[in-house]
């Protein structure tokens, strides 16, 4: 084969590139590097810092983590819309996911002047879902209940079995959601005006992603307005076959 034809043949071959991995690498690699540098400075590996420098560095680190989370959210949304958002389904003990999440958030919850109550139920069957993804859903719902409080946050989490499903509920005493916005709640970028005032940094993506995770697990997610104040968010998941 002539050399020119060989070159043309190679050029005509399609190179398979995963756009999500490419974007993840393009953005997350420098973000991870910045995060590492900031952590090194804060830990004083590069020399002592004063209290003012520490405060600024901690703020920069927090915003770097938030930026990384935004990249993850946008990638997840792209995968959902392209129907490439795969879950690794398997038996999951939902009560353990809740306990682990509460343990990880304990210091932040206390600092936020909130209290979260979770009465561990008697042994429940495992649900069918992706353990990593359902952790994101649980963390999102609990975090929302704590962030969008009025004065002192009171959150109650419950698990119960109904037929062949396990029902999760997260009840809060927060600012609630205007009735006129009910149809928008699980839409991309939805945030109520009051929620934006409380936390301007949010992007309004997590409930959209949470809905996709629950539905791809074979469940449903919904909410209701409490009689006095606040909201209750719920989701159901199918019981895993033994």
Could you give the CA distance from residue 141 to residue 137 in angstroms, rounded to a whole number?
6
Q: Are 218 and 135 in contact (CB under 8 A)?
A: no
Q: Give domain status of residue 7, yes or no.
A: no
Same domain, 22 and 67: yes
Domain assignment present for residue 161? The answer is: yes
The answer to whether residue 9 sits within a structural domain is: no
Q: Which residues of the chain, if any, have pLDDT below 50?
A: 3-4, 7-15
Compute the distance between CA of residue 63 and CA of residue 56 in angstroms, rounded to an integer: 11
Do residues 36 and 141 both lie within one domain?
no
Do 193 and 130 sit in the same domain of this protein? yes
Contact 177, 185 (CB under 8 A): yes
How far is C-alpha 124 from the geometric centre of its chain's CA atoms? 24
In this prediction, residue 13 carries a pLDDT of 46
Whether residue 2 lies inside any domain: the answer is no
Question: Is there a single domain that holds both residue 95 and residue 187?
Answer: yes
Q: 159 Cβ partners below 8 Å, 6+ apart?
A: 94, 95, 98, 121, 124, 166, 167, 168, 169
- pLDDT for 53 equals 86
Shared-domain flag, residues 33 and 107: no
Q: Which of 31, 62, 81 is the last residue of a domain?
A: 81
How high is the pLDDT of residue 85?
82
- The whole-number pLDDT of residue 118 equals 94
188 falls within a domain: yes
pLDDT of residue 5: 53
User: What CATH number did the domain enclosing 189 receive?
Assistant: 3.30.565.10
Tell me the two tokens of residue 106. Answer: 């304990």
Question: Distances in Å between the alpha carbon of 179 and those of 109, 183, 221?
Answer: 27, 9, 17
Which residues form the domain of 145? 90-238
User: What pLDDT does residue 78 have?
Assistant: 77
Query: Which strand (E) or helix (H) includes residue 160?
Result: strand 153-162
The closest alpha carbon to 85, from 16, 20, 140, belongs to 20
Whether 141 is in a domain gets the answer: yes
Q: Provide DSSP, 117-184.
A: EE-PPSP-PPEEE-HHHHHHHHHHHHHHHHHT-SSSEEEEEEEEEETTEEEEEEE--S----GGGGGG
Q: Find where tokens 């919904």 sit.
A: 222
Q: Are residues 56 and 102 in the same domain?
A: no
Q: Are residues 134 and 169 in the same domain?
A: yes
Does residue 237 contact residue 127 with C-beta atoms inside 8 Å? yes
| Whether residues 144 and 210 fall in one domain | yes
Task: Give residue 29's pLDDT.
Answer: 78
Indicate whether 62 and 132 sit together in one domain: no
CB 128 within 8 A of CB 238: yes
Q: How many folded domains does the chain comprise?
A: 2
pLDDT of residue 133: 93
pTM (two decimals): 0.76
The number of residues making up the chain comes to: 242
Question: What's the pLDDT score for residue 7?
Answer: 42
Report yes or no: 172 and 154 within 8 Å, Cβ to Cβ. Answer: yes
Same domain for 69 and 152, yes or no, is no
């Amino acid at each position: 084969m002539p050399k020119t034809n060989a070159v043309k043949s190679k050029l005509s071959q399609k190179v398979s590139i995963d756009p999500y991995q490419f974007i993840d690498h393009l953005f997350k690699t420098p973000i991870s590097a910045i995060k590492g540098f900031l952590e090194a400075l804060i830990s004083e590996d590069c020399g002592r810092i004063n209290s003012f420098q520490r405060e600024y560095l901690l703020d920069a680190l927090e915003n770097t983590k938030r930026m990384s989370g935004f990249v993850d959210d946008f990638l997840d949304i792209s995968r959902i819309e392209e129907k490439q958002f795969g879950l690794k389904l398997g038996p999951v003990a939902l009560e353990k996911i809740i306990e682990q999440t509460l343990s990880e958030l304990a210091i932040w919850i206390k600092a936020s002047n909130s209290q979260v109550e979770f009465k561990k139920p008697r042994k429940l069957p495992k649900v069918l879902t992706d353990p990593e993804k359902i952790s994101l859903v649980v963390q999102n719902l609990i975090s929302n209940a704590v962030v969008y409080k009025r004065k002192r946050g009171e959150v109650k989490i419950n698990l119960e079995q109904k037929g062949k499903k396990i029902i999760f509920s997260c009840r809060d005493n927060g600012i609630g959601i205007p009735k006129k916005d009910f149809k928008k709640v699980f839409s991309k970028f939805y945030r109520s005006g009051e929620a934006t005032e409380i936390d301007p940094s949010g992007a309004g993506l997590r409930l959209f992603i949470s809905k996709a995770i629950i539905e791809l697990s074979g469940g449903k997610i919904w909410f209701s307005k409490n009689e006095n104040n606040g909201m209750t968010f719920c989701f159901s998941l199918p019981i895993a076959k033994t």
